[in-house]
Amino acid sequence: MTEDVEEIVVIPGDGIGQEVVPAAQRVLSAVANVEFVEADAGDAVKAETGEALPQATYDLVSEADATLFGAAGETAADVILPLREAVDSFVNVRPARAYPGVDALRPETDLVFLRENTEGVYSGHEDRLSEDLSTLTRVVTTSASERLAEYACDYVQDRDGGFHVAHKANVMRETDGRFRDAVVSVADSRGVETEEVLMDAFATRICLDPTQFDVVVCPNLAGDVLSDLAAGLVGGLGLLPSANVGTERALFEPVHGTAPDIAGQGVANPSATIVSAAMLLEYLGYDDEGQAVRDAVESVLADGPRTPDLGGEATTAGVTEAVLARLD
């Protein structure tokens, strides 16, 4: 918690990113002493300049303490994967919870994925070995797995209980075996309990009873798919925030995309981005302010104005003003 001005890089990107990021900026300005540096990325800037992620944006993000990113369209992978690298993000924190008053297939869902954010199939080395054959080299290191595990142990310190480790080590014995062994051994040495679950079994079990799970540590692609599954149980991607956390900086983004069907109409739901901004505040040490923003969003979701995705008729601005009004 500091009285200095916090400089935050914002990248609205494409589609509704252009609507929800400014909404979150209003909320950030209301609770903290912040200044914004705006940067470009995504389909639109690619159409103009040929590059989805301009070097200037990459450089800004790799030097900022915190970045808030909206969404990118077709170029999403070209934007978000390098940006995760730019903040040297070793963990993607993905809370998935249902909100009171919002329709959800499993309203009791409330868990957090801690997704490995640097390797697995995302390390990206692929070869075209012949006309018929291509390969991808999936990478797992003990060091990255341990770094993630240390973070997970810190993360669960204030909760009762340890965490689950999801993997597919019965098939990927050497790589996911390494991941599992490294994570479990760090947890053991720190006195944190772990329970293993195969990623396929996890997919069944979370549907049957999501309350079995609290914190779930997983390799990169497993975290991608399983967190999107949890999103389905809480009623879609529209409410889910995320944080790409590195050692010295972090990048925050709603889990949803550009929503081209409603982009430009001013009716996008800003909640996921505003909660991502709350995570950003907490990351910078503004814990009370972060909590206040979360509470305000939750309160508005419970009985305030709603955007059309939640069955209401409110605008992005209307919801944002309601959140601002309920900040205490």
**DSSP state at residue 67:** E
**Nearest distance in Å: CB 71, ligand IPM:** 9
**DSSP state at residue 265:** S
Q: Which is nearer to a second copy, 105 or 325 (CB)?
A: 105
Q: Which residues, at least 6 apart from 133, have a Cβ–Cβ distance to it below 8 Å?
A: none
Q: What one-letter code names the amino acid at 228?
A: D
Binding footprint of a second copy on the chain (CB under 8 A): 76-77, 81, 105-106, 121-122, 124, 126-128, 131-143, 168, 170-175, 177-178, 199-201, 203-208, 221, 224-226, 228-229, 231-233, 235-237
Q: Which is nearer to a second copy, 55 or 204 (CB)?
A: 204
Annotated active-site residue in 168, 283, 286, 309:
168
Q: Greatest CA separation found in the chain? A: 63
The angle formed by the CA atoms of residues 254, 260 and 265, to the nearest 5 degrees, is: 90
Q: Which residues, at least 6 apart from 115, have a Cβ–Cβ distance to it below 8 Å?
A: 91, 92, 93, 94, 218, 219, 220, 222, 223, 224, 227
Residue with tokens 């705006």: 38
Contact 119/221 with Cβ under 8 angstroms?
Answer: no
Q: Which is nearer to ligand IPM, 99 or 122 (CB)?
A: 122
Residue with tokens 């992005």: 316
Give the three-state DSSP class for 152: helix
Annotation marks residue 46 as catalytic: no
Question: Which entry of ligand IPM, a second copy, none binds 208, CB below 5 to 8 A by partner kind?
Answer: a second copy
Q: Which is nearer to ligand IPM, 56 or 77 (CB)?
A: 77
Annotated active-site residue in 58, 224, 286, 309:
224
**Nearest distance in Å: CB 271, a second copy:** 16
For 160, left (φ over 0), alpha (ψ -120 to 50), or beta? beta
Q: Which is nearer to ligand IPM, 6 or 224 (CB)?
A: 224
**Nearest distance in Å: CB 27, ligand IPM:** 22
Q: Which is nearer to a second copy, 289 or 306 (CB)?
A: 306
Question: Which entry of a second copy, ligand IPM, none binds 203, CB below 5 to 8 A by partner kind?
Answer: a second copy
- CA-derived radius of gyration, the chain: 19
Binding footprint of ligand IPM on the chain (CB under 6 A): 76-77, 80-81, 170-171, 200, 224
Annotated active-site residue in 65, 181, 228, 295:
228
Annotation marks residue 14 as catalytic: no
**Nearest distance in Å: CB 171, ligand IPM:** 5
CA gap 263, 17 in Å, rounded: 8
What are the φ/ψ torsions at residue 195 (nearest 5 degrees)?
Answer: -135, 135
Annotated active-site residue in 14, 40, 46, 122:
122
**Nearest distance in Å: CB 29, ligand IPM:** 26
Question: Which entry of ligand IPM, a second copy, none binds 80, CB below 5 to 8 A by partner kind?
Answer: ligand IPM
* Structure-block tokens of residue 1: 């918690």
Annotation marks residue 224 as catalytic: yes
**Nearest distance in Å: CB 104, a second copy:** 10
CA gap 264, 3 in Å, rounded: 36
Positions marked catalytic: 122, 168, 200, 224, 228
